[in-house]
Amino acid sequence: MAVQKPTSLDIAAAAGVSQATVSRALRDSPQVSEETRERVKKAARELGYIVNRNAAGLRTQQTNVLAVLLFDELGQHRFEANPFFLSMFGSISHAAAELKYDVLVTFQEDSENWHHDLIVANRADGIILLGYGDYRDSGSKFSMLTENECPYVLWGPDLPELKGKVVGCNNIKGGRLATEHLLSTGRNKIAFVGEASASSPEFLARFQGYSQTLTDAGIAVDPALQFDAHDEQEGYLAGLRLLASGCQFDGVFAVSDSIAIGVMRALKEADKRIPDDIALVGFDDLPLAAYVEPSLTTVRQDCKMAGQLLVHSLVSQIHKKAPGQMTIEPELIVRQSS
């Protein structure tokens, strides 16, 4: 039996107001006091109410606004934006402007009601999601958006349950490119730095490319050469643990440039010569990668194309059209670190 979705009448009963007041409160109408608006919104959140976008469209015109939600993926008290996502913003804004859309950017921590205010207030026609935290916790939220017919697109992993909703990189190929390059330089004890688990499916796909390439080359994948990391500081700490482990290694594939830069710092502190002693490859091709010393070899994700595809895919959904290209092919950028 299908679960009955809450209605504005349910909210009215829970908040002790009329249905008309609920409608005004969810639109942030100045005709409703702030106290009443908050009481109505609290009731809506508790009931799991989301505005039906199709029904709302019969009453209101489109906003011509695209919302970009950037998450504090680690839930830290001090927000630190992922530099890869920041590098996309210019392209997203430009692509949206070409299609006559404004962009609303919001930074917020991952929480149960992360999408609520944008949806119920009808502030945007659709959402671009950059970052999702632990994917195992976020999958149900994406399903909720789909069930409530809210247009959204995610930069993320190529997974069957998100078909038509994700723009992303061919991460397995990217992992292969990095590992093949390290092998081509004569390295055969290659460490992997980055979480390879269902929590981080993009990193996991890069690990799959790494491990498949080693296996194809007749090299056993060594769990002792695998270290979790998500950002630059964790990359630095992973580098220290790798050095302290006593394991022999002559190459490192880090699943992001930020992590790679952290590993580089640890190697330098240990007086390891890069690339003479240890070759290092990152992933993303952040602007900073070309300016660290030594400059970082990396697997490039085209940020400009990524922003364009995210916008065009979302606008296609808004207008009930099939999305176009959804996958970006990675490119190896060779610099001094390898």
Q: Which domains can be identified in the chain, with CATH numbers? A: 1-49 (1.10.260.40), 171-301 (3.40.50.2300)
pLDDT (mean) for 257-279: 98
Closest CA to 105 of 68, 50, 151, 142: 68
Closest CA to 239 of 221, 261, 223, 209: 261
Record the tokens describing residue 170, joined without a space. Answer: 């061919």
Strands 297-300 and 331-333: antiparallel
Quote the pLDDT of residue 54: 47
Give the separation between CA 301 and CA 306, rounded to whole angstroms.
Answer: 8
Alpha carbons within 13 angstroms on the beta-carbon side of residue 46 total 12
pLDDT (mean) for 152-174: 88
Q: Which helix (H) or strand (E) holds 86?
A: helix 83-86
Question: Does residue 124 register a pLDDT over 60?
Answer: yes
pLDDT by residue (tens digit) across 19-33?
Answer: 778 877 887 777 789
Chain centroid, CA 102 distance in Å: 21
Quote the pLDDT of residue 335: 98
Quote the pLDDT of residue 112: 54
pLDDT by residue (tens digit) across 273-314?
Answer: 999 999 999 999 999 999 999 999 999 999 999 999 999 999
Give the separation between CA 84 and CA 334, rounded to whole angstroms.
Answer: 19
166-169 β-sheet, strand order = 102-109, 65-72, 126-130, 152-155, 166-169, 327-328
Quote the pLDDT of residue 111: 52
Give the separation between CA 259 and CA 238, rounded to whole angstroms.
Answer: 9
For residue 285, CA distances in Å to 116, 246, 254 come to: 34, 30, 12
Spatial CB neighbours of 156, under 8 Å, sequence gap ≥ 6: 129, 132, 135, 162, 166, 168, 201, 202
Task: With beta carbons less than 8 A apart as the criterion, state whether 284 and 84 touch.
Answer: yes
